[in-house]
A and B are shown apart, each in its own frame.
Chain A
Amino acid sequence: MTDAATEPDKITGPTPDNALRAADKADSGPVLAADGRPLKQSLNRALRAQKIRALALIAPLLLFVLVSFIAPIGDMLFRSVENQIVEDTMPRTVQVISRWDPATDETPDEMVYQAAYFDLFFSAEARRHTRLGQRLNYESTGMSSMFRSIGRDLDEFGEPYQDAIEASDPRWEEAGFWYDLMSGEGANDLLESRRDSYMRLMGQSQRTVFGDVTCGIGSVFGNPCDIALEDVPLEFSLSNDITEFLPLTAEAYSDFTVFTVLDEGDVVAEEEPWEAVYTALGIDLKAKSQAEIQAYNGTGADALQAAYTALAEVEDISFRDQFIDADPDWGIQQPWQVLQTYSAAYTPGYFLNAVDMQKSPQGWELRPENQRIYGLLFQRTLFMSLVITFSCILLGYPIAYLLSNLPARKANLLMILVLLPFWTSLLVRTSAWKVMLQQQGVINDVLVWLGLVVDDGRLVMINNQFGTIVAMTHILLPFMILPMYSVMSTIPQSYVRAAKSLGATNWTTFWRVYFPQSVPGIGAGSILVFILSIGYYITPEIVGGTSGIFISNRIAYHISSSLNWGLAAALGTILLIVVLALYWAYDRIVGIDNVKLGG
């Protein structure tokens, strides 16, 4: 309470602050230092060493926090809108399905089924199609099994074509023949784009400079990295001529090449192509006229001619029918609608789900009544956090008051009692409440013994909201007491004495003079307790039952059980936004400057 605290502006000497203020005020050009440079510049130069030193001191922590805290949180939040899995797994389908109009009441045309066949064939080979199934299952139940069954049957779709082609000329079964047929110059763009596609499917990004450095360091210690996927030689060069003549075949063979080399580590020239390549060849050849076939005179022209003739005998494959054979659900609009709705790389779908809404062709709409749970959970979380905060204020204020008014030695003893819970495991404390509150627990036993409660009417105090509130109030109480205490201990006794000397009774003194000055402590404690309780997990999980759980329990469920990380991230983001909004509102109403955590 010295004077200096109340009138810092009275210092007129050359303090750094005053100098800066004066420099700001000077409109008549910059003030110059003795060496003729602007004063600000030379001041900055003088302070640079200090700044660098300060930065160096916090650098380790900053780095640690960035790597271990901010980056994972950022990544997690990003997952709430990220939806690249659809595009990465079925790029060709995503491209063609956008032209489909679900309002026509028809399923997509054959082109979409065909694109889906090639996409799914590739991703099924890479064993990635079920992941997409799981992802889409969050949006529409049943998609997961549809993807699994289609993955099983996919191999047989192109069998008629493959049989006809292989029967037409034995060379079609030779890996070397295929290799020669497709080899050439000029179409490696297509090949590389397939490699890119494969890497996205596998979730591998291009190696960055950072990765190169890591690998460089690793190789120094005799632990070199594998060659980056984008640098592995495919030992195959796609012919431009054949690509123009047989576009689908070239694309399918490129897929096959990329997969064979990158995934299986085999040599393309020694491997017989997939069924999908035969299917693609069949589609390509069937689309040609006799004249076009005869006009081709590159490698294997005779074999192509033979295949063309043989294929003429074979009926066209209908991919649509094949899909429906595998799972009749592929024959209705629903799965395709979901695929179209969620084909974008970023989606609000998780957020909509988190607020009990869903995306439909008609736009956003509320989910059916029986599927809405998150609104209720958010409401309950907020309400219970408020109740907990309020009970903490009621219980904590008298303790903090006592603490700040006791002589130091007794205050220290009491402070240890307040801090005692901090030194006990959270789990132990929560479990203790379980012992206390359960129907055969200590409190009920005592009440029955006292005759206040009949033995078969024991109170239910756990696995409900009451249990959660009691246990969390107890656990969070120190977080309320400590800021309150630190504020109260800075209120000089002379205020109370002054008020009394002015004629105020004890109550008036407290209410008009002491209490208003302790409000910043209540504010600080409330923010702390409220924010902690809004995200609390362990205690509600253990004593909350079903009616006493918080939104965070649901988040944990989606993280560890249902593995719907996108939804968990969306719920977490909403929680974060709610907390920030409350903080902002508090700042506007009370003013964050009034919140003191100490001193």
Chain B
Amino acid sequence: MPDSSHTDAFVEFERVQKSYDGVQLVVKDLNLSMPKGEFLTMLGPSGSGKTTCLMMLAGFETATHGDIRLDGKPINNIPPHKRGIGMVFQNYALFPHMTVAENLSFPLEVRKIGKSDREAKVKRALDMVQMGNFGGRRPAQLSGGQQQRIALARALVFEPELVLMDEPLGALDKQLRETLQFEITKLAHRLGITVVYVTHDQTEALTMSDRVAVFDNGKIQQLAKPDELYEKPQNSFVAQFIGENNTLEGTVREIKGDTCVVQLDDGGLIDAVPVNVTKVGERTRVSIRPERVEINKDRLQEGAHMLKAEVLEFVYMGDIFRTRLKVAGNDEFVIKTRNAPDQVRLEPGTQIDIGWLPDDCRALDAPSK
């Protein structure tokens, strides 16, 4: 791994592979390096290997091959309870037979911390998640959101430097999830802890993380900052998985430096940024974000390619308008326009021209058939 000289890496995966049955690899050649204090999210559909990675880091699964290092030391052979890694589970995993305070003091007890010290730390941790008055309750007496706060406090009370979170907000309703997302990020930054966060919710990944690793099929498809991930997806999986996305298929006709011309299957020509295409004549799938599609010709560059489109459906969504178009044979082409006083509302049935800045249109790998 070229990165192994990286001395500030706190968590490191090097050529890690994992197989459960000896036939299939669940994690294929994983390389990842995180600096201290980073909030990294592993995002991906179920079965993509993200949770397996987390469990290997926590020590509940052993890597079939490769090294996992924590703060420079290999931890492959260290049992979970000696790794000192905090962990938050999707189902909270609060011990039902203990009170909240007992749950929190459990990690301190097993570390043989004195009683008065323990009580002070428990109180501080509870206050940190604004649950100071709930120490005497049983987990079953708390709501889901409260339980997850306690689980968070329990994972932090023994002051670990690394905290792993396995879809911690998956069981909560939307509003609560958003509140807690905000709180967790704030807390993580304030305490300066390193967090590995697993989720399949892309909004969560984008809003919370310093960096996001998109997993699919046992591999990291792209590891980047949220904005880069959204705006500059490296392949069509990432483009599809993150946010709403329009795709059109065609063939590369011309490549000029950092722009190219793609001829769509119905003959129309468009400008795009070549990402995964290298030569003329290659099949490609271009991707355009709905909010980057322009219906006003004046805002486009001189000589920009335009496409004919037919309006199929107009949906009023309050802050934006969502319009479904038929473009180059694709009748699932969606555009989003801001609800401004001067914005036109497109009537279904009308024919319009659409275009975009070449930078917003990315020519990615064609889907294998």
Do A503 and B93 contact each other (CB < 8 Å), given the known contacts A2-B171, A6-B142, A497-B58?
Answer: no
> Which residues on the A side are within 8 Å of B93 (C-beta)?
492, 494-495, 497-498
B147 and A504 form a contact (CB under 8 A): no
Q: Which of A157-165, A192-200, A509-517 contacts B (4 or more CB under 8 A)?
A: A509-517
Is the CB of B276 closer than 8 A to any CB of chain A? no
B81 and A6 form a contact (CB under 8 A): no
B58 and A494 form a contact (CB under 8 A): no
Determine which of A7, A505, A512, A516 lies in contact with B81 in the assembled complex, contact meaning CB atoms within 8 Å.
Answer: A505
Return the chain A residue nearest B171 by Cβ: A3
> Which residues on the B side are within 8 Å of A1 (C-beta)?
91-92, 171
Interface string of A485-506 (1 = CB under 8 A from B): 0000000101101111111111
Return the chain B residue nearest A519 by Cβ: B97
Determine which of A492, A495, A498, A508 lies in contact with B110 in the assembled complex, contact meaning CB atoms within 8 Å.
Answer: A508
> Which residues on the A side are within 8 Å of B47 (C-beta)?
none
Q: What's the minimum C-beta distance from A516 to chain B, rounded to whole angstroms?
A: 4
B106 and A7 form a contact (CB under 8 A): no
Return the chain A residue nearest B172 by Cβ: A3
A7 and B143 form a contact (CB under 8 A): yes
Do A501 and B58 contact each other (CB < 8 Å), given the known contacts A6-B147, A512-B106?
Answer: yes
B110 and A494 form a contact (CB under 8 A): no
B81 and A500 form a contact (CB under 8 A): yes
A503 and B84 form a contact (CB under 8 A): yes
Is the CB of A25 closer than 8 A to any CB of chain B? no
> Which residues on the A side are within 8 Å of B80 (C-beta)?
497, 500-501
B107 and A502 form a contact (CB under 8 A): yes
Q: Specify the main secondary structure of chain B where it touches its partner.
A: loop
Complex alpha-carbon distance, A506 and B110, angstroms:
11
Is the CB of B45 closer than 8 A to any CB of chain A? no
> Which residues on the B side are within 8 Å of A7 (C-beta)?
143-144
Interface size on B, residues (CB 8 A): 37
B91 and A6 form a contact (CB under 8 A): no
Complex alpha-carbon distance, A497 and B83, angstroms:
13
Interface string of A511-535 (1 = CB under 8 A from B): 0110011000000000000000000
Do A503 and B107 contact each other (CB < 8 Å), given the known contacts A3-B171, A516-B97?
Answer: yes
Determine which of A3, A497, A504, A505 lies in contact with B89 in the assembled complex, contact meaning CB atoms within 8 Å.
Answer: A497
Complex alpha-carbon distance, A502 and B88, angstroms:
10
Is the CB of B95 closer than 8 A to any CB of chain A? yes
> Which residues on the B side are within 8 Å of A3 (C-beta)?
143-144, 171-172
Interface string of B77-88 (1 = CB under 8 A from A): 001111111110
Do A6 and B140 contact each other (CB < 8 Å), given the known contacts A503-B81, A508-B110?
Answer: yes
A502 and B97 form a contact (CB under 8 A): no
A498 and B96 form a contact (CB under 8 A): no
> Which residues on the B side are within 8 Å of A494 (C-beta)?
89-91, 93
Complex alpha-carbon distance, A3 and B106, angstroms:
24
B residues within 8 Å of A by Cβ?
A: 58-60, 79-87, 89-97, 106-107, 110-111, 139-140, 142-144, 147, 154-155, 158, 164, 171-172
7 further contact pairs, Cβ within 8 A, besides A7-B144, A497-B60, A501-B80:
A6-B140, A10-B143, A492-B91, A498-B87, A500-B79, A501-B86, A502-B87
Jot down 21 A-B pairs with beta carbons below 8 A, ordered by A: A1-B171, A6-B147, A495-B93, A497-B58, A498-B95, A499-B95, A500-B59, A501-B80, A501-B86, A501-B87, A502-B154, A502-B158, A503-B84, A503-B107, A504-B81, A509-B81, A512-B106, A516-B95, A516-B97, A517-B96, A517-B97
A residues within 8 Å of B by Cβ?
A: 1-3, 6-7, 10, 492, 494-495, 497-506, 508-509, 512-513, 516-517
3 shortest A-B CB distances, which residue pairs? A502-B107, A3-B144, A498-B93
